[in-house]
Amino acid sequence: MSRKILVLPGDGIGPEIVGQAVRVIETVNEKYGLDLELSHGLLGGCATDELGSPYPDETSRQAAAVDAILLGAVGGPKWDDGPRELRPERGLLAIRKELQLFANFRPAMLYPQLAGASTLKPEVVAGLDILIVRELTGGIYFGEPRGIRENADGDREGYNTYIYSEPEVRRIAHVAFQAAQKRGKKLCSVDKSNVLEATVLWKEVVNQVAAEYPDVELSHMYVDNAAMQLVRAPKQFDVIVTGNMFGDILSDCASMLTGSIGMLPSASLNADNKGLYEPVHGSAPDIAGQGAANPLATILSAAMMFRYSFGLGEIAAAIESAVAAVLDDGLRTADIVTEGETPVSTQQVGDAVLDKLSS
Ligand code: IPM
Ligand code: MG
């Protein structure tokens, strides 16, 4: 069965890290005879430069025609001061919304080889393996009305709308419960129901859905406490489910438990497991073009693509083992070196992963 992948390198370090992940995909394609078809497209600042929009129609057509998408990262100072609707981030939000990629999986696991790279004490993070399930196409990111206007006093005011419908909460809750069933069977729903009505309803709906998953232990936590607990005792969590904005914030926080945001992959899925796969980190314009970026989050995102969109868990596992073996060998880009180690380049890490895969 032929499977189609659209590759969107994006901006900043995007092309460098995606380049390595594409080599990994091509290698497993060959090795396992997978019949994968890759095409390339534009998203983000590069798309605005070339086609006048961060999510051009051409990219939208390409995205509609594939089974999965691999994305690098978007954004950079070059586009920061332009019109809001042309910001690279708008392209990312638009593709997530258009493809209805409402379920965002952000695993944060600590590779034992990197325990020293975390800013937290090793005993706090050793063995860490948590999954944040972030709702990705609703909440305050997309709520209307939104904008910047002038109020009755003649002052400008900015406003957004935090809104979730019952079906939106229900579908992400099901995804999260099912993910928890496949792991440690613990789910923590994060809200701010002591203040925000939108999350009072969120909590109520999650509780309703829980009745269908008696084998999963459900708890609830306010987001401020969750942020604190993530750095105090992160291993208390198995799966966390939360809305778009809280998930954005908590997943960055969780990423640093693991030592480097440069290690964390993500998957964003629609109801049919069509997915967009991207590293959790951004486009890192400060190191773009230097060949210094860590390609492992993107390579691990490609692994997630095999698992979630293609149902090829054994290939995902092969890629993940190759990454672990490279870390065992002590190869580290600058973001994960500890004192006394010499960092290697993006390309060297890619070479090493390919080496492990073909051996
Ligand atoms: C992320 C990013 C995006 C988000 C930005 C780039 C729009 O921070 O994927 O976490 O806020 O969702
Ligand atoms: Mg973010």
154-188 confidence digits (pLDDT tens): 999 999 999 999 999 999 999 999 999 999 999 99
Our mutation pick for probing the ligand 1 site, out of 248, 252, 253, counting the most ligand atoms within 8 A of Cβ, is 248
Q: Which CATH number do you get for residue 252?
A: 3.40.718.10
Q: Are residues 204 and 312 in the same domain?
A: no
Distance in angstroms between the alpha carbons of the first and the last residue of the chain: 26
Model confidence band, residue 114 (pLDDT cutoffs 50, 70, 90): confident
pLDDT at 177: 98
Q: Are residues 226 and 210 in the same domain?
A: yes
CA 251 – ligand 2 centroid, Å: 7
Domain end position, chosen among 258, 283, 305: 258
Q: Is the CB of 252 under 6 A from ligand 1?
A: no
Residues 91 and 24 in one domain: yes
Q: What is the mean pLDDT of residues 41-49?
A: 98
Q: What is the overall mean pLDDT for the chain? A: 96
Residue 316's pLDDT is what? 97
**pTM for this structure?**
0.95
- Separation of alpha carbons 53 and 90, rounded Å: 9
227 and 125 inside one domain:
yes
One domain, residues 243 and 125 = yes
Query: What average pLDDT score do residues 19-29 get?
Result: 98
Say yes or no: 158 and 61 in one domain: no
Q: Of 35, 224, 328, 329, which one is the catalytic site residue?
A: 224
Same domain, residue pair 160 and 51: no
Query: Which of 226, 258, 290 is the last residue in one of the domains?
Result: 258
Buried-state track 57-66, b at ≥16 Cβ within 10 A, e below 16:
eebbebbeeb
Q: Which residue has the higher pLDDT, 260 or 337?
A: 337
Same domain, 242 and 329: no
The answer to whether 252 is a known catalytic residue is yes
Contact 335, 294 (CB under 8 A): yes
Whether residues 53 and 22 share a domain: the answer is: yes
- Nearest atom in ligand 1 to the alpha carbon of residue 93 is 7
**Same-domain pairing of 70 and 187:** no
Residues 130 and 142 in one domain: yes
Say if residue 197 is in the same domain as residue 267: no
pLDDT digits (tens, 9 = 90+) for 224-258: 999 999 999 999 999 999 999 999 999 989 988 98
pLDDT at 65: 98
pLDDT confidence of residue 215: 98
Query: What are the structure tokens assigned to 127, written together?
Result: 């063995």
Atom in ligand 1 nearest the alpha carbon of residue 104: 9
pLDDT (mean) for 274-279? 98
pLDDT at 258: 87
pLDDT of residue 84: 87
Contacts of residue 340, Cβ cutoff 8 Å, sequence gap at least 6: none
pLDDT in tens, 298-308: 999 999 999 99
Which residue range forms the structural domain that includes residue 155?
119-258
Domain count, the chain: 2
Please state the rounded mean pLDDT for residues 81-109.
Answer: 95
Contact 35, 67 (CB under 8 A): no
Closest CA to 88 of 29, 44, 24: 44
Question: In the listed set 211, 227, 258, which residue is the last one of a domain according to the structure?
Answer: 258
